[in-house]
Amino acid sequence: MATENKNLSAYDKATIPDANDFRFGIVVSEWNDSITEPLYQGAYDALIDNGVSPSNIVRWDVPGSFELIYGSKKMQEQMVNAVIAIGSVIQGETKHFDFVCQGVAQGIKDLNVMHETPVIFCVLTDNNLEQAQARSGGKHGNKGTEAAIAAIKMAELRRNS
């Protein structure tokens, strides 16, 4: 597994671009909010830790992970330097998990290909609640933190390209 022995919250602040002029959008799924709220907090805290003003962080909530695509598309129109899409899909007994995960991954990929504002994929796709908890502030750290650092780096790439 990709997160084995890896803390998703660990980063070297000296390697992170100056983010104090950037504006970020964060789109958060309300579904599995016991997971998405800690992911949001990890992203928010990492942005603040790297110089982003609270007034330069815009949060929108959407009902579920599938709706992250539309929310992220509309957020791209809001003069932000990068968007972070936060969701959590946990395996159930039906194929719904597969369809949602595939659709969201493809939708976020399409937004990155079609538009200039990067969208960071921070959607946990876990087999069970314990795995999701381990990646949203548990033993593997917080994927939200990792997504925020990726957003800063992609905003810098966009600015310099």
Exactly one of 6, 13, 96, 159 is catalytic; which is it? Answer: 96
Give yes or no: 96 in active site: yes
Please, how many CA atoms are within 13 Å of residue 143, restricted to the half-sphere of its CB? 24
Contacts of 76 (CB under 8 A, 6+ apart): 25, 83, 111, 115, 117, 119
Catalytic residue positions, numbered:
96
